[in-house]
């Protein structure tokens, strides 16, 4: 391991994770992840996130050196076609294909995006530990689109701060089963569904203190030619797991192909995977766009009349709005 930070506390804190969040301007989940990975020492000893800090306590934060060796590249990239949207010395923006997990977890057995990056010999940030080299934010396995990867720890921390203060974000497009009545926002507390561990849900904060705030904006783009479906745009103001799907379910709307959240009578009608795509990624006044995957394009061509011009106008309008927000 390599030393990333060393500092001494100037006043008391009730919890270590709260202290790191405040001092380093990172998310509390990021701080907890470091602590649980034994990357944080207090007075040269491992500690826990609920540890009380006294004035004068010395904190050391370490990072794992990226020593992973590239695995069999030919075998790894077989069937993978990952578009590079933009790249410089600090970060990489990719168009993640559907059915690709971003990073390893105990339940993941297949190839991941981090495997792909390792095979390509990218220099990546090490802040999130060896299973998540470079990963600043994630996309669900079934979601395609723009994803940002940090090449060094300095840029990773900068992007983590942007996510925390919500100056970096994503715009998604998706096809839903029934048109929205109007453009709308959904804001609620979310957490693991107490009745189904595979799902997330809207929760009562008083009953479930672990629930976290979430907010999404939904905008209408156009209805399908038979009036059954609607293409919509979604802006995330937070990045909770399954956020778009949970928020849509509160409106009794479901993404076409979503086999987890849709009611049974809709599942039998699906003829493709979930049609959810992270179209735009924005930060620092820049807006990056990810090409729409073939299966979503096919569905749009079959079910929507002249969608190209309406979608182009919609995305252009939103890009203009995002650039104005960044200037202000």
Residue carrying structure tokens 């701080």: 31
Query: Between the CA of residue 223 and those of 93, 168, 267, what are the distances in Å?
Result: 31, 29, 20
161 contacts: CB under 8 Å, gap ≥ 6: 25, 26
> Is 140 annotated in the active site?
yes
Residue of 17, 140, 142, 258 marked catalytic: 140
Q: What is the DSSP string of 226-237?
A: TSS-EEEEEEES
Residues 6+ apart with CB under 8 A from 314: 219, 221, 233
Half-sphere exposure of 41 (CA within 13 A, CB side): 12
**Alpha-helical regions (H) of the chain:** 16-24, 28-36, 73-77, 113-119, 153-165, 243-250, 264-267, 294-303, 307-327
Rounded Cα distance between 286 and 11, Å, is 39
The residue behind tokens 């306590």 is 57
- Quickly tell me which residue has 């919609």 as its tokens: 314
* Among the listed residues 29, 24, 21, 23, the one whose alpha carbon sits nearest the alpha carbon of residue 239: 29
> Cα separation of 256 and 298, whole Å?
13
Active-site positions read 140
């Amino acid at each position: 391991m390599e030393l990333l930070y060393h500092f001494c506390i100037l006043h008391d804190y009730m919890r270590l994770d709260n202290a790191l969040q405040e001092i380093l301007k990172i998310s509390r989940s990021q701080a907890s992840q470091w602590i649980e990975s034994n990357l944080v020492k207090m007075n040269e000893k491992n500690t826990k996130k609920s540890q009380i800090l006294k004035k004068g306590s010395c904190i050391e934060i370490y990072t794992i050196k990226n020593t992973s060796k590239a695995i069999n590249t030919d075998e790894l990239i077989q069937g993978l076609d990952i578009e590079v949207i933009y790249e410089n010395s600090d970060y990489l923006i990719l168009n993640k294909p559907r059915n690709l997990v971003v990073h390893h977890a105990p339940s993941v057995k297949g190839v991941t995006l981090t495997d792909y990056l390792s095979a390509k010999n990218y220099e990546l940030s090490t802040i999130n530990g060896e299973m998540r080299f470079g990963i600043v934010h994630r996309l669900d396995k079934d979601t395609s689109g723009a994803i940002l990867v940090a090449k060094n720890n300095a840029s990773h921390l900068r992007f983590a701060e942007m996510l925390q203060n919500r100056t970096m974000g994503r715009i998604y497009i998706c096809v839903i089963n029934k048109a929205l009545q109007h453009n709308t926002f959904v804001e609620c507390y979310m957490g693991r569904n107490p009745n189904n561990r595979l799902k997330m849900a809207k929760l009562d904060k008083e009953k479930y203190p672990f629930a976290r705030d979430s907010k999404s904006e939904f905008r209408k783009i156009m209805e399908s030619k038979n009036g059954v479906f609607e293409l919509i745009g979604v802006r995330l103001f937070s990045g909770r797991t399954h956020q778009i799907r949970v928020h849509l379910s509160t409106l009794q709307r479901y993404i076409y192909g979503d086999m987890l959240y849709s009611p049974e009578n809709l599942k039998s009608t699906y003829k493709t995977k979930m049609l959810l795509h992270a179209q735009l990624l924005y930060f620092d006044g820049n807006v990056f766009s990810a090409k729409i995957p073939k299966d979503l394009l096919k569905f749009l061509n079959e079910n929507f009349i002249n969608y190209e011009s309406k979608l182009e106008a919609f995305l252009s309008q939103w890009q203009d709005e995002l650039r104005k927000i960044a200037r202000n």
